[in-house]
Structure 1
Amino acid sequence: MSNIKPAIPKGTRDFSPSEMVKRNYIFDTIKSVFKKFGYQEIQTPTMENLSTLTGKYGDEGDKLIFKILNSGDYLGKVTSDKLLDLDSNGLTSQISEKALRYDLTVPFARYVVMHQNDISFPFKRFQIQPVWRADRPQKGRYREFYQCDADVVGSESLLNEAEFILIYDEALKSLGLTDFTIKINNRKILSGIAEIIGKPELIVDLTVAIDKLDKIGLDGVCKELIERGFSEVDIDILKPVILLEGSNTEKLDKLKQVLGSSEIALKGISEIETIFNYLAHFKKLNGICELDITLARGLNYYTGAIFEVKTNEVAMGSIGGGGRYDDLTGVFGLKNLTGVGISFGADRIYDVLLELNLFPQNTEETTRVLISNFDSQAELFALPILQQLREAGIATELYPSNAKLKKQMSYANDKKIPFVILIGSDEMAKNVVTLKNMESGEQTRIPIQDLAKQF
């Protein structure tokens, strides 16, 4: 039998106990903000029917869906002619009926349609679960990662969009981030740009190209636009819009001039103005909220406002994004149910907080107190103390064997346990314990009945 070197798939990660404490700190912080704004938690299955997912993310997104082979002899019903065609796309539908979810939004739309008679609208839900994408792994980009989503369906009010900006702002501030930008745009404005050029049918090609401005620069965007069917004249019209500068108000005024003949563009501009007007009635944001016309978000289902969040403190891609989708549930048979949602990229936020050393110090602690174990008599003496501290809500361990004290202390240091209780014959005789502070080294004798009060 050959020795197999243990490994995990590229783009995935193991997380140690101390790392899980940090991850849960992120999840709990975001979850608390979601709840404060009235969102309720749901969960959906890890896998969905492949037909549920395909066609919702555009051609590029569909290529990144992880397909699951049918169980058993998945090639049993495939004809030899089909195999000889070497057409993987045509073959997929016959050998794979299920897939790992690509995001949480499409499964949520499916959930709403299936449970429409059991929920009240507007329905505000949040969801914190992993998703999978067959992307090329790189820094800040994983094949398995968690999303923290919040969506509301059944409400056309743009107050929802304004509140999502507030959710981003409050959650990121609570996580310790101080320099971040919440970018906003509107797909109607982008549709208006395509309309002004005279190529509304190429709206998807336009958005896919200009969304890459940060990655490939203006020359790269122009080259891609040419490849996607736009002319040099089209690009000359586009450039001033793509490179729009100034305050949010100045940008909007300029867009009204350039796109004034497009009804759909003016509607998008009006929606952005309404959102900014709502925000003006709240306290000042901690981060920056910026109108960015190049923001396109590559998903086809967005129809209105779109968001993207980036930290300015670390070289990292977006740490959040979302937008308005007017009829996503329509593909599942429930027409005209508008929705809007956002997502936090928890894995990228983890990397940012780690690089900036922003995790609270106590996130290192997995246990608060370790009770030493010198012998069988001390072990039995310690059991009621162990129960007392746990009932008081204090995470406590009893070392499971009467090992040498040095080994027990090393265990406490390795787990970053801040306090150790020492129980010897003298302590048992006087019904006290010796409490050692592992950071200062200070030792204090405490009556057992007063022990819990120390924490």
Structure 2
Amino acid sequence: MKPSLAKGTRDFTSEEVSRRKYIINILQNNFELFGFQPLETPSFENLSTLTGKYGEEGDRLIFKILNSGDYTSKVNQEDWENKSHQKLTSQISDKALRYDLTVPFARFVAMNHGKLTFPYKRYQIQPVWRADRPQKGRFREFYQCDADVVGSESLFQEVDLVQLYLKSFSDLKVPVTIHLNNRKILSGLAEYAGITDKLIDFTVALDKLDKIGKEGVVKELLEREISQESIDKLDFLFTQSDDALENLLQLKEKFAGNEVGTKGVEELEFVLTQSLNLGVDIQNLVFDITLARGLDYYTGAIFEVKADEVAMGSIGGGGRYDNLTEVFGVKNIPGIGISFGLDRIYLVMEELGLFPEEASSKVEYLFANFGGEETLEALKLIMKLREKGVSAELYPENSKINKQFTYAEKKGIKNLVFLGEEEIKNGTVTFKNLEAGEQKTVSLDEFLG
């Protein structure tokens, strides 16, 4: 049978792994600079932990794990014959691969809240799985790099997370724009248009604006039984100016007497104003009134990060979720978090040529194999280099020197070392820099530095 990869998954070569580690190390360093502590949770959770947290569309994308053993033996025969997949799922599966890191984190907080010091700040860098249609920048298995704070309602957490985003992308040299909105603004818009009972339908459709355009959103709203009259009241959403504060001012007027919408405007105004007071360039922040993020659990601020120079969709996102732990029976633990999309960040950096040379892991020295006593002496010298933290290896066979040269060049090894009979007798080392093409002979002490 010809081997193949499961759709939406990838193998990573040594160069790709090294580059991914380069991104992760920068993010991890910044997470810890901002006071976040590491956490890891299992790859799979109880299915009941995950379902009902991501909205109807999200629930469909959860990878379910079949129960072990004869999982069909306990299935209701009528449900089996009727092919009722919703009823069958709960009978043949009680576990699922995690869809994101936020819900498992909320589950962890609910289980351990008596032992945690609040506000509790954690970061988590682990893979997640979604049964989505694979396409450029969208995979079924991918890494999320999350930073969350729970136990604080302060809007300065939002301001700090804006800083975390901007510093991290600045360190990666990726030019970005942070799009912001507030779930309360979306609730206010639904109230303004008289469609409060259709809030989820409204936000799910609105969140697809950049994918399906105004026409597609209007069509979907009509399909979700939202009247043309309500849609007309919301037409101004599609003609926003480039000035975030000006758009907020216009919205404030429309929300006169609309308590929830006004609160959303005030919260977002605070985050934008304080960010500007800290020296953030207004060009890096955009108030995106159509941003909804599509997840049911957000209650306040919503973030989405887009690369300025590559069409890639979002490379980061998040928001406030003040009642997520309630579904696990623990109330009054407000939370806010952001995520970095490692895989998409990688693609953006690759397209823009932003990976520095040190992001690739390369062997410094390859020792040519001459056989006999020279091989043992070469291994002794290799041990001394490794003790100094310098990468080195011996070509395993006593092959023709051209073959050893080819191996070094293909593997991207910087230097080929010759430790032959003459060098051992004289206490010297000869090595050739394969990048510059220069060859020199130096004393053993000078070589070991």
**TM class, shorter-chain normalised?**
over 0.9
Q: How many angstroms apart in 2 are the aligned matches of 1:387 and 1:117?
A: 50
Distance 1:394 1:125 in 2: 34
TM-score normalised to structure 2 length = 0.97
Structure 2 gap segments, 5+ residues each: none
Distance 1:40 1:99 in 2: 26
Report deviation, 1:400. Answer: 1.9
Per the alignment, in what secondary structure is the counterpart of residue 197 of structure 2? helix
Q: Which residue of 1 aligns with 2:71?
A: 74
Q: Give 2:421's aligned residue.
A: 425
Partner Cα distance (2:426, 2:294) in 1:
70
Q: In 2, Cα distance between the equivalents of 1:299 and 1:86?
A: 28
Using the TM superposition, name which of 383-392 and 67-76 deviates more: 383-392
Of residues 52, 56, 72, the one that matches 1:55 is: 52
Query: Is the contact between residue 431 and residue 441 of structure 2 (CA under 8 Å) also seen in structure 1?
Result: yes
- Which of 435, 445, 449 is the matching residue for 1:449? 445
Give the distance between the partners of 1:54 and 1:394, measured in 2 at CA.
49
Aligned residue in 1 for 2:131? 134
Deviation at 1:388, TM superposition (A): 1.3
Q: Does the aligned pair in 1 maintain the 2:276–2:282 contact within 8 Å?
A: no
**Could you give the per-residue CA deviations for residues 51-95 of structure 1, whole angstroms, max 9, x where no partner exists?**
000000000000000000001111111132231121011011011
Answer whether contact 1:371 1:382 (CA < 8 A) is retained. yes
- Secondary structure, counterpart of 2:234 in structure 1: helix
Partner of residue 312 from structure 1, selected from 303, 308, 333: 308
Asked if 2 retains the 8 angstrom alpha-carbon contact of 1:21 and 1:366, the reply is no
Cα offset, 1:111, TM superposition: 1.0
Conserved? CA contact 1:364–1:416, under 8 Å: no
Q: Does 1:28 align with 2:36?
A: no
- 2:84 match: 87
Q: Distance in 2 between matches of 1:104 and 1:63?
A: 17
Across the aligned residues of Structure 1 and Structure 2, the Cα RMSD in angstroms comes to: 1.3
Secondary structure of residue in 2 paired with 1:194: helix
Question: Aligned residue for 2:14?
Answer: 17
- Structure-2 separation of matches of 1:161 and 1:450: 54
Amino acid at match of 2:357: Q
CA contact (8 A) 1:241 1:255 kept: no
Distance 1:414 1:187 in 2: 53
1:170 match: 167
Matched, 1:187 2:190: no
Q: 1:282 — aligned with what?
A: 278
Partners of 2:14 and 2:361 within 8 A in 1: no
Q: 154, 172, 184: which is aligned to 2:151?
A: 154
Alignment-derived partner of residue 368 in structure 2: 372
1: CA distance, partners of 2:14 / 2:221: 48
- Matched with 1:221 is 217
**Among candidates 99, 109, 112, match of residue 112 of structure 1:** 109
Q: State which drifts further: 260-269 or 401-410.
A: 401-410
Between the aligned partners of 1:125 and 1:285, the Cα distance in structure 2 is 27
Question: Structure 1 residues 17 and 286 mapped into 2: Cα distance closer, same or farther (>3 Å)?
Answer: farther
* Partner in structure 2 of residue 100 of structure 1: 97
1:333 corresponds, among 320, 325, 329, to 329
Find the residue that maps to 1:293 and give its secondary structure.
coil
Distance 1:246 1:315 in 2: 19
Correspondence for 1:5 = 2
Residue 444 of structure 1 deviates from its aligned partner by 1.7
Count of residues in Structure 1 that have an aligned counterpart in Structure 2: 449
Q: What is the aligned partner in structure 1 of residue 240 from structure 2? A: 244
Q: Aligned partners of 2:422, 2:200: CA distance in 1, in Å?
A: 78
Secondary structure at the aligned position of 1:134 is classed as: coil
The one-letter code sitting in structure 2 at the alignment partner of 1:185 is N
Letter in 2 for 1:56: K
For the 8 Å contact 1:365–1:417, the answer to whether it is kept is no
Superposition TM-score, scaled by structure 1 size: 0.96
**Per-residue deviation, residues 378-434 of structure 1 (Å, max 9, x unmatched):** 111012211111111112212222222212221111111112221111111011111
Distance (whole Å) between structure 2 residues aligned to residue 237 and residue 88 of structure 1: 39
Instruction: Return the alpha-carbon distance in structure 2 between the equivalents of residues 61 and 397 of structure 1.
Output: 49
Q: How far 1:6 sits from its partner (Å)?
A: 0.4
> What is the alpha-carbon distance in structure 2 between the residues aligned to residue 36 and residue 44 of structure 1?
22
- TM-superposed deviation, 1:100: 0.4
Using the TM superposition, name which of 280-289 and 432-441 deviates more: 280-289
Partner of 2:392: 396
The answer to whether the 8 A contact 1:365-1:415 is kept is no
The corresponding residue for 1:381 is: 377
- Quote how far apart the aligned CAs of 1:285 are: 4.2
CA apart distance, 1:323: 0.2
Say which of 141, 144, 155 aligns to 1:144: 141
- 2:304 is equivalent to residue 300 of structure 1: no
Farther off after superposition, 412-421 or 266-275? 412-421
Partner residue, 1:409 = 405
Q: What letter matches 1:370 in structure 2?
A: L
Give the AA of the match of 1:73: D
Aligned-partner SS, 1:300 = coil
User: Residues 36, 385 of structure 1: CA spacing in aligned structure 2 closer, same or farther, 3 A cutoff?
Assistant: same
Structure 1 CA distance for aligned equivalents of residues 103 and 347 of structure 2: 27
Q: Does 1:258 align with 2:257?
A: no
How much identity, in percent, do the aligned residues show? Answer: 52
Superposed displacement of residue 371, structure 1: 1.7
Give, as a single letter, the amino acid of the residue that structure 1 aligns with 2:447.
Answer: L
CA contact 2:195–2:230 (8 Å) conserved in 1? no
SS of residue matched to 1:451: helix
Deviation at 1:286, TM superposition (A): 9.4
Amino acid at match of 2:151: G
Shift of 1:312: 2.1
Note the C-alpha offset of 1:49. 0.6
What letter corresponds to residue 89 of structure 2 in structure 1? T
